[in-house]
Amino acid sequence: MYLPKLFADSRPEVLQRILRRHPLGMLVTHTTTGLDANHLPFLLDAEHGPHGHLLAHVARANPLWTELGSGDPVLVVFRGADGYISPNWYPSKHETHRHVPTWNYEVVHAHGVVTVRDDAQFVRGVVARLTREHEASEPCPWKMSDAPADYLEEELAQIVGIEVTITRLEGKCKLSQNRDERDFDSTVTALEVRGCTELAASMRRSRCDAAETP
């Protein structure tokens, strides 16, 4: 990933926040059939290893799990908040006209090694944890025990676990850090007016972090 110093972010708390808020990762693999990409909801287990583990599952019908070998290198890409930035939002544009459109975004690349877990206990645990996490905000959270036991066993038998041991995290947060204060503030306001509140919040956070950095 092209990573200018101004936009690079290696802080674990920032990268883990993006992973947790945007858990649908793109698992990029290189198998005997070439490059492949699968889109999977991942669970971050930050307590294991120096960088944590990513847990997920794939359909048993997906040939991915048979083509991967345990220990194979993989890349998981997570996209955070993003959005189009118009030069018309910059006050300075109306004075010099020396601006062009751009795109602001947050992205995390999790490099690691994969382990295929065709293990009923592991799969059940991953599904249970994913369910608890994503049902937590529901007024009446769905539980695995809500489904008939025989039906649940049939469903679990149709998936295979995936575990990625993270060896390196790369983060890029391109959030108008290269703009002066008035252009930056005007861009944040324009995004908020258009309902892009998450990107606007990320930009505000980046400006606060920069101000606190000695």
The CATH code of the domain that includes 135 is 2.30.110.10
Reply yes or no on whether the pLDDT at 210 is more than 80. no
**What distances in angstroms separate CA 201 from CA 31, 167, 182, 196, 206, one per listed residue?**
39, 29, 17, 9, 9
Which of 60, 13, 16, 64 is closest to 36 using CA atoms? Answer: 64
Mean pLDDT of 34-55: 94
pLDDT band at 38 (very low <50, low <70, confident <90, very high): very high
What percentage of the chain has pLDDT greater than the value 70?
Answer: 98
Predicted pLDDT at 48: 85
Which of 22, 12, 23 is closest to 126 using CA atoms? Answer: 23
Reply yes or no on whether the pLDDT at 137 is more than 60. yes
Reply yes or no on whether the pLDDT at 31 is more than 60. yes
- Judging by beta carbons within 10 Å of its beta carbon (0-12, 13-18, 19+), is residue 180 exposed, middle or buried? exposed
- The end-to-end CA distance of the chain, in Å, is 27
Instruction: Compute the mean pLDDT over every residue in the chain, rounded to the nearest whole number.
Output: 94
pTM for the model: 0.93
CA-atom Rg of the chain in angstroms: 21
Q: Residue 81 in contact with residue 198, Cβ under 8 Å?
A: yes
Reply yes or no on whether the pLDDT at 75 is more than 70. yes
pLDDT band at 208 (very low <50, low <70, confident <90, very high): confident
Q: Which residues pair with 77 in a beta bridge?
A: 26, 109
Q: Is 97 left (phi over 0), alpha (psi -120 to 50) or beta?
A: left
| SS3 label, residue 137 | coil
Q: What is the residue type of 184?
A: F
Predicted pLDDT at 214: 55
Range of the domain at 129: 5-212
E strands, the chain, are 24-31, 34-41, 43-45, 53-59, 73-85, 102-117, 159-174
pLDDT band at 113 (very low <50, low <70, confident <90, very high): very high
Predicted pLDDT at 211: 64
Mean pLDDT of 70-95: 95
Reply yes or no on whether the pLDDT at 123 is more than 90. yes
Work out how many domains the chain is built from and give that number.
1
